[in-house]
Amino acid sequence: MSTRLPLAENPAGAPLRALAKRLADSNIQQLLADDPERAQRYSAEGAGLTLDYAKHWLDDESLSALLDLARAAGLESARGELLSGAPLNNTEARPALHTLLRATSAPAGCEDKFAEVEAVRQQMRQLVEALHNGERVSFAGKTFTDVVNIGIGGSDLGPRLVTDALQPWQGKIRAHYVANIDPADLEQTLASLDPSTTLLLICSKSFRTEETRVNGLSARQWLLDGGATPENVGDNCLAITTNLEAAAQFGIPAENCLPLWDWVGGRFSVWSAIGLSTAIAIGWDAFQDFLGGARAMDAHFAETPLAGNLPVLMSLLEVWYTNFHNAGNHVVLPYSHQLGLLPAFMQQLTMESNGKRVDCAGQALAENSAPVLWGESGTRGQHSFHQHLHQGTWLCPVDFILPLTADTSLQDQQHRLVAHCLAQSRALMIGRDLEQSLASLRERGVEEDRAMELAPHLVMSGNRPSSVLTMDKLTPETLGALLALYEHRTFCSGVLWGLNSFDQWGVELGKDIGAQVLAMMKGEGEAASDPATDRLLARWRAAEGG
């Protein structure tokens, strides 16, 4: 792997600092007015997606300086390394080959891995077809009506999102998702299901995750209580994991396991057998189309020069606002009810990947890394936090994501949705000055004195940046392209920051302490504690009546 250059050491960063000041003082509306071609020039397309980025604090000089930053960071060679399977995950000495999961041929040197991917794809396909045509039946000899995916993090968020987003492709077997260790999650999900027609997928790359193991055991017991025997309970259980040994210890034999590989990061794994619940729910053909959309985005990412490359441009915008304008957060607003789970998926993708404090060599970063990502589907967010977007004091760059059309008999509602999305992006840009605020109050018949008092409260500074990412329609293909786009954007930003996007050491300590606290709750041995934790434990004991 080539050496990474942290942002603070990137020589192309210096000119951007001066440009950032000038651009923050510029006016987006004016930039659009000054250049009749701007809206068209600040637009890029790939794999069925179009990014409109004219409403940003950008001009040709700053854009060109950002592209220089990317080149100086070695983004082009890093992209080649990612796609060819170089061991970019240096702390775990592995490649990050999620692109292989949707490929139709192997890059040189990855032929063996690709053969394994293809074998698992066939296994998945046969399974999906056998479930759909009733060849594979439950312990009770019945066809399956429901599948419950038990997993968390990357073993949950991706398949949950895709199944939800592609609900119109839903076939006869419904998928459900259980992630939380809170018993309410499992209990509420199983309450409406019949054990004799429900297939459990225990989905865990490591098969060591507490939540998944505990929920898996409880769900297995539910099958036994529902008529299965220890001998036939396996008919209703499959595991998806790299750890066949742990799955066997759990009681799922190798023939009921679909393998995964350590070179697939959990948050990049929806394309693998981790997506089995989705493939079962939407059918094999639609799942293939989903992979095909991602493959088209991979080709766009691989082949398009940086200046027209969607993941690169979106990453440069992320770095521009995070590091040169101190934004600290990034908002994702899908104007699509079906993409309502996208912000949750993207939180793991971006913050688990790039929420890091050291570079690839373990040196402390002198620049901020991943901003906090948050969001909600439009128009729900409008009646919740858009007040903050329009008048709050923090800079909140927004990605609006908009499927332009939808197959619905309620076309008027669909048109209103589109109108709201475009309006929100425009309102962030144009804002409302004092004069306009006064005029609006006068129009409403507010008395002059009162109008003068109220007007400052109506003022919106405007000039707030946003991108609009559109697709003709949300389909398996465009959804695949969308998720792959954000995967690659995440990788590009990691390269620009000089960090490893593919490990997650920061989650370990909490898991260890969780085990220690549980031991204290059970009175098993002494563990390091502190007065604040002790006090909370005492309150728990009291609430338990102990």
Stretch that binds ligand F6P, among 106-114, 200-208, 291-299, 383-391 (CB under 6 A): 200-208
Q: How many CA atoms lie within 13 A of 410 on its CB side?
A: 5
Q: Say if strands 237-241 and 198-203 run parallel, antiparallel, or are unpaired.
A: parallel
User: Interface with ligand F6P includes 475 (CB under 6 A)?
Assistant: no
Binding mask 257-276 for ligand F6P (x = CB under 6 A): ---------xx---------
Sequence-ordered list of residues with C-beta below 8 angstroms from that of 349, at least 6 positions apart, any chain: 267, 268, 486, 487, 490
User: Interface with ligand F6P includes 356 (CB under 6 A)?
Assistant: no
Applying CB under 6 A, among 10, 149, 209, 304 the residue interacting with ligand F6P is 209
Q: CB neighbours (10 Å) of residue 153?
A: 20
Contact 321, 404 (CB under 8 A): no
The token pair at 108 is 């040189």
Catalytic residue among 231, 383, 457, 522: 383
User: Interface with ligand F6P includes 158 (CB under 6 A)?
Assistant: no
Stretch that binds ligand F6P, among 149-157, 312-320, 464-472, 524-532 (CB under 6 A): 149-157
Identity of the residue, 154 or 465, whose beta carbon is nearer to ligand F6P in the bound complex: 154
Catalytic residue among 245, 448, 511, 524: 511
Distance from C-alpha of 22 to C-alpha of 33, rounded to nearest angstrom: 18
Q: Say if strands 174-178 and 43-46 run parallel, antiparallel, or are unpaired.
A: unpaired
Stretch that binds ligand F6P, among 61-69, 147-155, 428-436, 537-545 (CB under 6 A): 147-155
Per CB under 6 A, contacts with ligand F6P among 109-128 are none
Stretch that binds ligand F6P, among 151-159, 191-199, 280-288, 481-489 (CB under 6 A): 151-159
Q: How far is the CB of 103 from ligand F6P (least distance, A)?
A: 22
Q: Where are the alpha helices (DSSP H) in 146-243?
A: 157-165, 183-191, 210-225
User: Interface with ligand F6P includes 277 (CB under 6 A)?
Assistant: no
Stretch that binds ligand F6P, among 126-134, 206-214, 470-478, 487-495 (CB under 6 A): 206-214
Identity of the residue, 379 or 490, whose beta carbon is nearer to ligand F6P in the bound complex: 490
User: What is the residue whose two structure tokens read 């570079």?
Assistant: 359
Check if 457 is active-site: no
Q: Is the peptide bond before 3 cis (omega within 30 degrees of 0)?
A: no
User: Interface with ligand F6P includes 153 (CB under 6 A)?
Assistant: yes
DSSP string, 221-279: HHHHHTT--TTTGGGGEEEEES-HHHHHHHT--GGGEEE--TTS-GGG-TTTGGGHHHH
Identity of the residue, 204 or 382, whose beta carbon is nearer to ligand F6P in the bound complex: 204
Per CB under 6 A, contacts with ligand F6P among 412-471 are none
Q: In 3D, which of 205, 193, 207, 107 has the Cα closest to residue 158?
A: 205
Identity of the residue, 4 or 267, whose beta carbon is nearer to ligand F6P in the bound complex: 267
Check if 211 is active-site: no
Contact 254, 242 (CB under 8 A): no
Sequence-ordered list of residues with C-beta below 8 angstroms from that of 127, at least 6 positions apart, any chain: 136, 238, 258, 276, 280
User: Interface with ligand F6P includes 246 (CB under 6 A)?
Assistant: no
Q: How far is the CB of 13 from ligand F6P (least distance, A)?
A: 30
User: Interface with ligand F6P includes 480 (CB under 6 A)?
Assistant: no
User: Interface with ligand F6P includes 504 (CB under 6 A)?
Assistant: yes
Q: Provide the 8-state DSSP code for 27.
A: -
**Polymer length in residues for the chain:** 546
Check if 172 is active-site: no
Give the interface with ligand F6P as residue ranges (CB under 6 A).
151-155, 204-206, 209, 212, 266-267, 352, 504, 507
Supply the residues annotated as catalytic: 352, 383, 511
